[in-house]
Structure 1
Amino acid sequence: CPYMKPFIYMKKKGIHIINLNKTISKLHKYCNLLKEIVASGKNILFIATKKQAKFIVEETSKKNNMPYVTERWLGGLLTNFSTFHKSICKLNTLEIEKKTGTYNSLSKKELLMIERIKNKLDENVGSISTMNNLPEAIFIVDIVCENIALKEAKKLQIPIFALIDTNSDPRSVDY
């Protein structure tokens, strides 16, 4: 992408070498903005479905009690958040009921059905179960892979932080 040219040091055997001097200054600036958002008690939704980034995003998000998506992006997660929030509430309710022993009087079949529902909800919305409302910002690893999340955030005017590759257009993100 021609807009990434200032951040490319050189091209060697078809591979772009990133200019670390220009990149590091931007990285420090945007990390400080992210720290301010977190310090104010607001959530940042981290999104990384690429195999290379899944683990680090999941571990870091869990450690900082932030919502994250490392599996398939569920269309409408941001633009139709009220529906997803109902699923999050249902999951939280099921977990509380399980801990308090509400299910002790149920039959094996009923327990199995509830467990299946809980597992499906956990698979779909478990990583965002701490989100009670839309995030203050989103952080995307690779906007080419996460283009639907990018479009949803733009539509809702949620600030977008991203790590982008040299084949991406940096104008499509805020930071």
Structure 2
Amino acid sequence: MAVEVKELLEAGVHFGHLTRKWDPNMAPYVYMERNGIHIINLYKTAAKIDEAGAALAKIAASGRKILFVATKKQAKDIVAEKSGAINMPYITERWPGGMLTNFVTIRKAVKKMAMIDRMKKDGTFMTLSKKERLQVDRLRAKLEKNLGSIADMTRLPGALFVVDIKREHIAIKEAQKLNIPIFAMVDTNSDPRQVDYVIPANDDASKSIDKVLSYVTAAIAEGLADRKSDKDTDQDDDEAVAPTKKRASKLVVTDEEE
């Protein structure tokens, strides 16, 4: 999907923070200052979205998951909807400390959810006392709220996509420790050096977040489609080779019989 600068402009992607709050490392992405607010160069934003989209499509095509992180109010619902639509994991509640660096423990918590579900299916749950059932239900609800969206993430993600790197600094640090590529919407008050793929953009307005994520998730969807297409082609090739092998084996048998 081609990135339209006009669409970015209409979504307010160009509005940065107050000039007194800026991070000087964002200077290459700032177009001008207007009424005490920095204006982001949308041509650079469009180029960076294209660059990030191409890289994310490759990661998706390789079969790796991309973990979306956004716990701020304006972004939560948008991220949940967009990433959920392409079947990618996301964190929109509080970031669980050690989510990446202590992934084994997080997986144990996710498995606990599955165990509770099994208890309910096989009837074990009903053998518990009323008080115990209430406690188990509360635990299940808490786990679902915090980790339900990553239930299918069985290994570390291939990349992180973050909205507001200042707010999600713990997630950024964990990804850096494990050399997981970081893609992010970076506003003028943040340090872009913390991110591998910078998308200079307004990370406070819901319209801006929605527009950038639309482009990003569309690129990931293309990568997933390419992966499916490659799989289907391989399957067709295997099916085409199978009858040839059968004919060849029949010929061998015939020769031996003669």
State the TM-score, normalizing by the size of structure 2.
0.64
Partner of 1:58: 80
Aligned pairs for 1:22-33 within 5 A = 22-33=44-55
CA distance in 2, matches of 1:172, 1:16: 20
Q: Are the equivalent residues in 2 in contact too, given 1:153–1:160 (CA < 8 A)?
A: yes
Residue type matched to 1:145 in 2? R
* Residues 1:96 and 1:64: Cα distance change in structure 2 (over 3 Å): farther
In the alignment of these two chains, the number of paired residues is 175
Residue type matched to 1:116 in 2? R
Percent of pairs with identical residues: 57
1:119 aligns with 2:156: no
Partner of 1:155: 177
Q: Which has the higher mean CA deviation after the structures are superposed, 32-41 or 152-161?
A: 32-41
3-state DSSP class of the match of 1:123? helix
* Residues 1:42 and 1:93: Cα distance change in structure 2 (over 3 Å): same
* Residues 1:37 and 1:50: Cα distance change in structure 2 (over 3 Å): same
* Residues 1:98 and 1:73: Cα distance change in structure 2 (over 3 Å): same
* Residues 1:109 and 1:76: Cα distance change in structure 2 (over 3 Å): same
CA distance in 2, matches of 1:37, 1:99: 36
Partner of 1:171: 193
Q: Which has the higher mean CA deviation after the structures are superposed, 120-129 or 15-24?
A: 120-129
Which has the larger Rg? 2
Q: Are the equivalent residues in 2 in contact too, given 1:92–1:129 (CA < 8 A)?
A: no
State the TM-score, normalizing by the size of structure 1.
0.92
Partner of 1:44: 66
CA distance in 1, matches of 2:44, 2:131: 60
- Unaligned runs of 5+ residues in structure 1 are none
Deviation at 1:3, TM superposition (A): 2.1
Structure with a larger share of its residues in helix: 2
CA distance in 1, matches of 2:73, 2:125: 37
Deviation at 1:93, TM superposition (A): 2.1
Q: 1:7 pairs with 29, 43, 50, which one? A: 29
3-state DSSP class of the match of 1:54? helix
